[in-house]
Amino acid sequence: FMIRAIIFAVFVVPIIYLVLDKTQKATKKEKFTNTVFVSHAYQTVCHICSLIMVGIAIALGLFMGFDNTVGHSVVFAIFVLLIEFCAWALKRHKVVIDGNNLRITPAVGRTREISFNDISRCTEKEQIGLKIFVGNKKICTVSCDCVGYKEFLEMLIEEHYGDALKAYDKLKASGKI
- Could you tell me the strand order of the sheet in which 146-147 lies? 112-115, 101-105, 94-98, 35-38, 146-147
Percent of the chain with pLDDT over 70: 75
Residue 75 near residue 81, CB atoms below 8 Å: no
71-86 pLDDT tens trace? 888 888 899 999 999 9
Residue 42, pLDDT score: 82
> CA-CA distance, 119 to 117, in Å (whole number)?
6
Phi, psi of 62 (to 5 degrees): -70, -40
Q: Which amino acid is at 34?
A: N
pLDDT (tens digit per residue) in 105-129: 988 888 989 988 888 888 888 888 8
